[in-house]
Amino acid sequence: MRLYVASLLLSVAVFNTVSAAPTGRIFVTNERSDSISVINSTSLTIEATIEIGKRPRGIGLAPDGSKLYVAVSDENKIKVIDPVSLKILSAFEAGSDPETFAVHPNGNIYISNEDDAKASVFNPKNGEQIAAISVGLEPEGVAISPDGKRVIVTSESTNMLHVIKAPENTIENNILIGARPRAATFTQAGDIAYATAEISGEVFKVDMNTGKILKKASTGDSKSKPKDVILSKDESVLYVAGGRSNQVVVMDAKSLAIIKNIPVGKRVWGLAMSKQGDRLYTTDGVSGTVSVIDTGKNEVMKTIAVGKFPWGVVIDD
């Protein structure tokens, strides 16, 4: 009996290890193909395409990598996918028009509900809504500090970063930035956040302890409508998806000076960085491609055709 339990425990342990081992896959939501493109990050080729449902947008991984979550906007659901078998495991109601979300280190999902001026918190294990927090109009981007203590939700039509304390889920601060804030990201230490303002074409650097804007800078090009923003692994460089300027803007993270513009596909929105920091992936909506950037050279090394209007991208590494 004891032997049986031990072997059972061992097999559970082995199974867990196996299921949590990174697949090395890159997952991309295709907003107008109702699908997920699965890219092999070694060969940089399409491995599979998953039919997911109407208008998939936001995408994220569980903290242990065991589950892939996708906001299927026109079905008002988040669907849960096994990143190994690529099977849809379950789905839960995620409020009206779920779009962008982030996964908290505790496993809960923070999502913006654009039509309701609210951010909601869900437990993806049972689909239960844990909290709903009133924020500004057209909530959009969601970012969570690495320690999980703060969540930023951007409100596009109220021009604010709403800073939510977690797990209390209460508003700590509301920070006005430029017109149409779209996305934000934290430093590893969580003391600084960077955010984009699409219509004013700016990037903001904000002190998260005081709520004060430390710096702001234009993304240059008048066509530039910045969307996603992400830091290099050493946090010295900031990458900004330039939207309709069809380029990734590379900025010095300290001064926000533009170092370089990397031409990618049309209407670049989504960004994801490999764990090692050597590759940056972009979703080029109008072109229907993912651009792979070598961050050593800050040059595109490959362009991969995916579905129609690729939106979000995550890497299981």
Partner 1 sequence: MLKNIIIKILSAYTLILAGSNPVLADNINVTFAYIGARDHSALRGVQQGLEEANLQGQFLNQTYKLDIILSDNVLSHDFSPYLAVLTAVDSDTFTELSAALINRPVFNLSIADDKLRVACLKNALHIVPSNKMKQDAIKQWQKQASGTTAKAQAWHPDFVKFAARDLNKRYKKKFNISMDDYSWAGWAAVKMTSDAVARTNITDPTQMLNHIKTALSFDGQKGIDMNFRETGQLRQPLLLIENDKIVAEAPVRGIANITALDSLGILSCEK
Name the site residues for partner 1 (rule: CB under 8 A). Answer: 114-115, 117, 136-138, 156-160, 162, 171, 174, 176, 178-180, 199-201, 212-213, 222-223, 225
Least separation in angstroms between residue 214's CB and partner 1 is 10
Q: Which residue, 120 or 295, is less far from partner 1 as judged by CB?
A: 120
Q: Which residue, 198 or 316, is less far from partner 1 as judged by CB?
A: 198
> Can you tell me the distance from the alpha carbon of 87 to that of 82, in angstroms, rounded to the nearest whole number?
5
Q: Which residue, 20 or 171, is less far from partner 1 as judged by CB?
A: 171
Least separation in angstroms between residue 76's CB and partner 1 is 15
Tell me which DSSP letter residue 286 carries: T
Which of 181, 204, 207 minimizes the C-alpha distance to 194?
204
Least separation in angstroms between residue 117's CB and partner 1 is 7
Tell me which DSSP letter residue 137 carries: S
With 0-12 / 13-18 / 19 or more C-beta atoms within 10 angstroms meaning exposed / middle / buried, residue 9 is exposed
Q: Which residue, 46 or 171, is less far from partner 1 as judged by CB?
A: 171
**Strand, coil or helix: 64:** coil
Least separation in angstroms between residue 137's CB and partner 1 is 6
Report whether 80 contacts 124 (CB < 8 A): yes
Least separation in angstroms between residue 155's CB and partner 1 is 8
**Under 8 Å CB-to-CB from 113, ≥6 apart: which residues?**
94, 95, 96, 97, 98, 119, 120, 139
Q: Which residue, 7 or 96, is less far from partner 1 as judged by CB?
A: 96
